[in-house]
Structure 1
Amino acid sequence: MLSRSTIASAALLACFACQAQAEDYSQTYTQCMDKASSTLAMGACIQAETRLQDERLNRVYKQLMAKLDKDQKTNLRDVQRTWIKYRDGNCAFHGRLSSGSIYRIEGAMCEMDMSRDRAAELERVLSPGQ
Structure 2
Amino acid sequence: MKLPAAAAALAAILICAPAYAQNNPDEPKIDCAKAEAQTDLNICAALDFDTADKALNAQYKKTRAAMVAIDSDLDDDLKGAEKALIKAQRAWVDYRDGECEAQGFQARGGSMEPMLVSGCKADLTKKRTKELKDLADGPEGDQ
Regarding TM over 0.5, the answer is yes
Give the secondary structure class of the aligned counterpart of 1:41. helix
Contact 2:46 2:115 (C-alpha < 8 Å) held by counterparts: no
Amino acid of the structure 2 residue aligned with 1:55: K
Alignment equivalent of 1:92, drawn from 84, 95, 101: 101
State yes or no: 1:76 paired with 2:85: yes
Amino acid of the structure 1 residue aligned with 2:110: G
How far did 1:61 drift?
0.7
Which structure has more helix as a fraction of its residues? 1
State yes or no: 1:129 paired with 2:135: no
How far did 1:54 drift?
0.7
The answer for the alignment partner of 2:54 in structure 1 is 55
The two structures have a TM-score, normalised by structure 2, of 0.64
User: After the TM superposition, which residues 2-41 of structure 1 pair with which residues of structure 2 at under 5 Å, given as runs?
Assistant: 32-41=31-40
Contact 1:96 1:104 (C-alpha < 8 Å) held by counterparts: no
Alignment equivalent of 2:125, drawn from 109, 115, 120: 115
Rg larger for? 2
Distance 2:114 2:44 in 1: 13
Amino acid of the structure 2 residue aligned with 1:110: C
The answer for the alignment partner of 1:102 in structure 2 is 112
The two structures have a TM-score, normalised by structure 1, of 0.70
Query: Deviation digits for residues 52-95 of structure 1, max 9, x if unmatched?
Result: 11111111111111111250000000000000001001101111
Give the aligned length: 100
Give the secondary structure class of the aligned counterpart of 2:94. helix
